[in-house]
A and B are shown apart, each in its own frame.
Chain A
Amino acid sequence: MTTLTYPLSRIEGHARVVIDIHDNEVFRADFQAMEMRGFSHYVRGVPAEQITVIVPRICGVCSTAHQVASVKALEDVFGVVPPPLAEDIREVLLLGQLIQNQATSLFIFTMPDRVNASSLFELSRSEAGKARAFSLAQMALRIRKIGTDLISLAGGQFIHPIKTVIGGVTSGIPRVKADQLILTIEELLPVATDLLDIYWDLSMQMVDRIGSWGDDEPTHYLASTEANNYRLNSRRLRVMKPDGSEAPSFDPHEFEAYLQITESEYSYAGISSYLGHIMRANSLARVNLAESFGTPLADAYRERFVETFGKPAHAIMFFDLCRGIELVYALEKARQMLSGDLEHGETEIGYTPRDSTGFGLVEAPRGPLIHRYEVENGLIKSADFVIPTVHNMLAIRRALTVVAKRYVSHEGIDAELERAVGRVVRAFDPCIACATK
């Protein structure tokens, strides 16, 4: 048995791909998380109302999603419904996270794969290429920074935000600050579409070169955004079947009836299935489950995507293109929401703590995220974190097997395999810190 081990870079956290080959046959391909965060252990016994400050530290990349999911779970425990203005400000916060994350995944993590570079900052060795790469890097980081600025504005902190509290948010968004950010978005929206066009072209060229968009076997898709409302501060989980029809939606408190989560012997991350089926979450799942974004530029890109690749579209590297479409959507939607009044009105209501079990759902950049807390005597008795990356584990494994079989033949192991493995994993944009909560 030959075992190939590929440590991974340009993803969040420590992980590797292991491929076992025997007689030029791929025996097994696995994706393994090499660290364990273990938050479900640390938070036992913590006073319930303090957990919202602790759990964002599960992951600095996804801290916003964890903070909002955590607050929503406690609101469910205490039976409190935040005012509509607070829900809108949370949406702005989550849009900020979507912008930051999709820009990072597109430009920092996966753009280098399109040109076989080691990083965004070294896109090409030629001097001309360097100058272009340099400006690409600057532009990409400026787009990404809009997300950071939105998180700071709506969340009070650029990482591990603090403004979302049980019962609402601590304050509104002042008009003058909203207007400043609108100006920045208006200036950079054309830059973002230019970057997406470049990315789209480079992706087409890459696929011409390598001959495949990756594993395209039809599969189940999981998302909590609605067909005509891409709200990330979401309420219910939706499932698309491999043929494109929709299965019944479900509430976060019913998740155990639909999502089966098990541990792995070879990885610190768990594995989940939808009623025993392989499923996919993240951008492609949301786009497959959407009828429209409700913003003009993103809808134009979505139509182009559907016309070119179909609906549902199944190949894994479509995840990357869908992230680009979502980046444009989130910029447009943030501009739209900031144009409304987010300053005046009730942002927060009081509540009375009580013991109970509660569930909090948000659509994180990587898919539906659920926090479940059992509160007893005001303390966390048990906590569960249902992580989007875990929903993709079986799909990642299958896509790795497909790519390994493509590059392992009777002629031996093709040198392209290492790069191909990176492209497959990055298409899913896994987050290891979250997956090993």
Chain B
Amino acid sequence: MESSTDLPKFAVLQLSGCSGCEVSLLNSEEWINNFQLVYMPLVVTSNKIPNGVEVLLVTGGVRTDEDIHNLRKGRSRARKLIAVGTCALSGGVAQFKKNHIARESFLKASHRLRMPDMLPNAYPIDKFVEVDLYLPGCPPTPQLFMTALKDPEHAQIAPIVCQECGRKKLNDMRPKSITGSRSGVVLPDICLVNQGYVCLGTSTRGGCGALCTRPGHACVGCRGPANPYLNKEPKFVLDNLRRVFSRMTDIPAEEIDAALASPWLSLFLGQFTDYTQETDLPPRTKEKML
């Protein structure tokens, strides 16, 4: 067996998040053979990121001033930095967007003695440091983690979720209203949009293996917009979704608009379309997006 100290060093910095990305990484044991994990407080006792880290994975959004400090320190010690998960890419579920009532209530409740101060919002990490690669997903699958660590340059990522889903799109099955999240009977092998589900797979980047849609759960868009909609205003991806529904269904436009604006979908759709509203973010090119 190769001595583990000869292997490339990688580290995982968790900012404000749920640890789900870390759990997903642990679900792949493959990295044990190929990398040396030098910092990841969830599983390793080490108080700081050492110098000479080859790859630094950053999970979670920037929620406190301490997050900014740790993020900048981490960046200075790593050759390559990968932003991992929805929170690191958009601020995550903790992002308030235009919900001022929630923001005020949260900030009012968040004062403690000698504790990190909460920022007015949760921010994506590229607002503060340069990012070499983006790995979206909530969380990214273990396979995507391995691709990001081993050979991201040659990765073949499906452009949209539909490509990996395998459900057939039918011309003669046009629902007149949204089926909703609760009607349980999902027909196998037929596109969820044909069945009246608000599935975002048509505009969401693939690579996840369509692990939600194949068993019959509508895509909520956790991998973010497909390449054509990167760095575009929210209207582009939303317009594409509207086009898909008007082409494939007879659901009234207002019903679709209301569904696309719902908090359930805004968990991801809202975040990924809204981050472009931050004026000081560097462009995210498709070459940097896994």
Contacts and interface: CB of A to CB of B under 8 A. Distances in A.
Interface string A416-430: 000000100000000
A112 interface: yes
Contacts of B180: 49
Contacts, number: 194
Interface stretch (A153-161, A238-246, A327-335): A153-161
Interface stretch (B101-109, B165-173, B232-240): B101-109
Interface residues of B, number: 62
A54 B263 contact: yes
A9 B46 contact: yes
Interface in B153-192: 180-182, 184, 186
Contact of A130 (B1, B101, B106): B1
A415 to B, nearest CB: 15
A141 B20 contact: no
Interface in B76-128: 92-94, 96, 99, 101-102, 105-106, 109-110, 112-116, 118
Contacts of B138: 57, 160
B184 A9 contact: no
Given A112-B45, A170-B216, A170-B217, A60 B93 contact: no
A131 B92 CA distance: 40
Contacts of B16: 35, 37
Given A59-B19, A130-B4, A347-B184, A34 B115 contact: yes
A220 to B, nearest CB: 27
Interface string B1-43: 1011000000000101111111110110100100001000111
Contacts of B227: none
B213 to A, nearest CB: 11
A13 B20 CA distance: 11
A119 B45 contact: yes
Given A12-B42, A267-B115, A60 B20 contact: yes
Interface string A124-145: 0000001100100110011011
A34 B212 CA distance: 33
B32 A138 contact: yes
B205 interface: no
Most A C-beta atoms less than 10 A away, residue of B41, B96, B115: B115
B211 A157 contact: yes
A348 B19 contact: no
B139 interface: yes
Q: What bracket does the count of chain A residues touching chain B fall in?
A: 35 or more
A100 B264 CA distance: 27
B262 A47 contact: yes
Nearest to A152: B211
Nearest to A142: B29
Given A10-B42, A134-B1, A165-B182, A159 B110 contact: no
B181 A50 contact: yes
A157 B47 CA distance: 33
Contacts of A47: 262-264
Given A10-B41, A10-B42, 7 more contacts: A8-B41, A39-B93, A57-B93, A120-B43, A266-B112, A347-B184, A351-B182
26 contacts: A34-B66, A34-B116, A35-B63, A36-B63, A36-B110, A37-B18, A37-B94, A38-B106, A41-B109, A42-B94, A42-B102, A47-B264, A50-B181, A53-B181, A54-B263, A104-B26, A122-B4, A130-B1, A162-B212, A170-B217, A171-B184, A265-B112, A266-B114, A268-B110, A268-B115, A347-B184
Interface of A: 7-14, 32, 34-39, 41-42, 44-47, 49-50, 53-54, 57-61, 63, 100, 104, 108-109, 112, 118-122, 130-131, 134, 137-138, 141-142, 144-145, 148, 156-160, 162-163, 165-168, 170-171, 264-268, 347-348, 351, 422, 433
Interface of B: 1, 3-4, 14, 16-24, 26-27, 29, 32, 37, 41-47, 63-64, 66, 92-94, 96, 99, 101-102, 105-106, 109-110, 112-116, 118, 138-139, 180-182, 184, 186, 211-212, 215-217, 220, 262-264, 267
